[in-house]
Amino acid sequence: MDVLAPLLPDKYLPIRADGDGNQVYLAEIPAVMAKALLSLIGNQIDVTLEEGQEREIQNRTDIGATEKYQLSRSRVGQGQYRKNLEQFEAGCRITGIIDGRFLTASHIKPWAKSNDFEKLDGNNGLLLSPHIDRLFDRGYISFEGNGVLILHPSLPPEVVAAWGLAAGIQTKPLGPEQAVYMDFLRKEIFDKR
């Protein structure tokens, strides 16, 4: 409450300054308080968002059971999406690992921001080693169309050094369709980090 109390709105409080809840219906919270709550929740927010996305897919009435299944599986990097992705990517662009058991099928344009086609499009992805995938998903790294690695200025130098990263590492060029997705990622995630 030391963090949240100063951020409470002046009226229609969802909670009191002492941490007790108020009986209100749909109390709005300020954006700065929402950010503070998300930082306190930490990794649990990822699990909660994934559960919500899964429910959203299962509750859709505009698609059939097969497409629901494919979309659900694509969300966790399995099934049809991964098969589609493996037509374009053979391994991690940074580590060189090609054994699929140790790679994550990562969407370039985030799954939550993609339409149904983009969620399953193999061009909308990279196969990445898990630690590289984490940096990519969180907007700490990106790639130019020619495959050159870009490091975000907020990426801690100790991470760069420990993982042997360097701006300008040349990897294979992106395909034209991948480049379109990567442009989205750079503008909407990397540049806004």
Domain residue limits, the chain: 42-190
Q: What is the mean pLDDT of residues 23-47?
A: 72
pLDDT band at 44 (very low <50, low <70, confident <90, very high): low
- Render pLDDT for 93-135 as a digit per residue (tens, 0 to 9): 999 999 998 999 999 999 889 998 998 899 999 999 999 999 9
CA distances from 89 to 21, 66, 118 (A): 50, 25, 16
Q: Pick the range with the lowest mean pLDDT from 42-51, 58-67, 95-104, 144-153.
A: 42-51
CA distances from 131 to 6, 27, 56, 104 (A): 36, 38, 28, 9
The closest alpha carbon to 46, from 134, 130, 121, belongs to 134
Q: What is the mean pLDDT of residues 2-26?
A: 78
- Render pLDDT for 52-87 as a digit per residue (tens, 0 to 9): 777 888 888 888 888 877 777 666 545 678 889 999
Q: Which residue has tokens 């990445």?
A: 128
